[in-house]
Copies of this chain bind each other. A is one copy, B any other.
């Protein structure tokens, strides 16, 4: 089985606090995002911090999506890790950023599991995105 994976690490700024502070909305957005990226959802787990903030994970076949939010700072930390090439992690990220109303994203794409003889490594590419979202919420 192919060991390589695409792992997107995203710091999303300027997010709508009414969205990223609501675990129910986040669960809905991440489930829809997984579908948009052709991922098969296996399970999900979310919980809300006191007084605010949400953490959660969506387990998809051979991969996962995780989230931690700070609505008081309009900030969300998002990870999308995909093994195999049948799904589209970029669509997942774009869906989430749009639904969160994020205005800026700092993104690193990590290519996981790159083999050099018996040693596995990863390579990282980082970029910035200025966004003009049209919130789906």
**Which chain B residue has the least Cβ–Cβ distance from A42?**
B47
- 1/0 per residue, CB under 8 A from B, across A60-90: the answer is 0011101010101111010101010000000
Stretch at the interface among A25-33, A93-101, A104-112: A104-112
Interface of chain A, main secondary structure: strand
Contact A75 B124 (CB under 8 A): no
Contact assessment for B81 and A59 in the assembled complex, using a CB-CB cutoff below 8 Å: no
Q: Which residues of A contact B (CB under 8 A)?
A: 1, 3, 5, 7, 9, 11-14, 42-43, 45, 47, 49, 52-53, 55, 57, 59, 62-64, 66, 68, 70, 72-75, 77, 79, 81, 83, 104, 106, 108, 110, 112-115, 118-122, 124, 126
